[in-house]
Copies of this chain bind each other. A is one copy, B any other.
Amino acid sequence: MRIVEGGVCAPKGFFVSSCAAGIKYENHPDMALIFSEKPCDFAGTFTSNVVKAAPVKFDMGLLEKEARVQAVVVNTGIANASCGEEGMKLCRETASAVSKSLSIPGDSVLVASTGVIGQLFDIEKIKYGIDMMKGTLKSSANDANAAARAILTTDTHEKEVSLSFEIDGTEVTIGAMAKGSGMIHPNMCTMLSFITTDVSMDRKLLQKALITCVGKSFNMISVDGDMSTNDSCFLLSNALSGNKKIMSEEEQGYKAFLSALSIVTKFLAMSMAEDGEGATKLMECRVINASTHDEAVTLSKSVIGSDLTKAAVFGNDANWGRIMCALGYSGVSFDPDHTDIYILKGEGPKKELSFDVEGKPYPYELFGFPLAREGVAAGFSEEKATEILSGKHVIIVCDMKDGNEGARAFGCDLTYDYVKINGDYRS
């Protein structure tokens, strides 16, 4: 397995374009288009929010009827959520404009939006954007990067990655781009992720692989506890790599693909958490030795979601009492008098791309620097703790001593800038 260039254009047969259509601001890239020269099988996971944006409903409809897709069109600025029947109409009109422009079937276009809830966008601007993009579709790393930038809202940098690996001697590639970075919270948390691949695989397996990976990546991050109406993760495969079609989970090819997809999704998820609104650092909670996996997930998410813990991490304050407190109100029953809390310095999302973490589900470099042992203060050096906490990636390890299960959750610190960004986002 190796990192390659090209983002969503890295797999064979994918093209991309982006433009500034003036949806919310002038001269600000706000649309992107992904096109595959061959129809794709498509897997997707979507927000579990009861309030689903129109594009989410539209795409879920395509997923349900097992449509084969050839294009994804994205706009930022306006989310097209809470817009009633008008919003659904905008989705149909957007998809129809793309299908006409590219001469592809009407039901082969996915749509995605992000931005303000409750406002309608101007379909003429969208059509104008599509017109611009259809003539500039290219398959280069530069264009993929421009698209990765065009889909951003409050993110401070683009999030893209591409990996190649072999299946029975055939090179297979996965490419991806994603955006955060507010209204981010578990359960298909993450705004928009677009993953392309040239693997040849049964569509049910594709969906299964995506669900497995999303559960351990996007669904384990939280920036602010607010689960968006628009969260979507798309996986498109056009089968152009030429590998023998993977038909079963037992095949080595499936395992290799799952392993690569897991790295891609975890990298994107960690990048989103790291780039959470106003964040100065990535905050990770590793719960180890919990009695069940579900409990490990609940405990780790509770710590990541604690505003008090997030603010303490921002302030480089080794306030482990807040961590203990957050474990305590998670809903999981445990004996606090046996819990240990450690902190250690992480190496950021890039570490995930070093591949050495795969194969070992919880490769915890235990133990870090102890803050609490058996539920009480470990008598630590504040200086040393502050030094670890001032890093760009702070890992909190909670040893529950209740079993053998673990989980990793990702978030970020709570800062003045989060309040600034969200006290005045809409206007």
Contact = CB atoms under 8 A, between A and B. Distances in A.
Nearest to A328: B51
A345 interface: no
Interface string A294-336: 0000000000011111011011010111101111111011101
A183 B329 CA distance: 11
A79 B48 CA distance: 38
Contact-size category for A: 35 or more
Interface stretch (A134-142, A240-248, A347-355, A417-425): A417-425
Contacts of A322: 117, 183, 226
Q: Count copies of this chain in the complex.
A: 2
A372 B327 CA distance: 37
Given A305-B225, A426-B317, A51 B418 contact: no
B314 A423 contact: yes
Contact of A325 (B227, B314, B421): B227
Given A336-B51, A423-B314, A425-B312, A116 B328 contact: no
Interface of A: 48-52, 79, 81-84, 86, 116-119, 182-183, 185, 187, 224-229, 305-309, 311-312, 314-315, 317, 319-322, 324-330, 332-334, 336-337, 372, 374-377, 414-416, 418-427
Given A50-B327, A229-B321, A307-B422, 19 more contacts: A50-B328, A51-B325, A81-B321, A82-B375, A84-B374, A118-B320, A118-B372, A118-B376, A119-B377, A187-B329, A226-B325, A227-B325, A229-B324, A312-B423, A312-B426, A315-B423, A317-B423, A317-B426, A319-B426
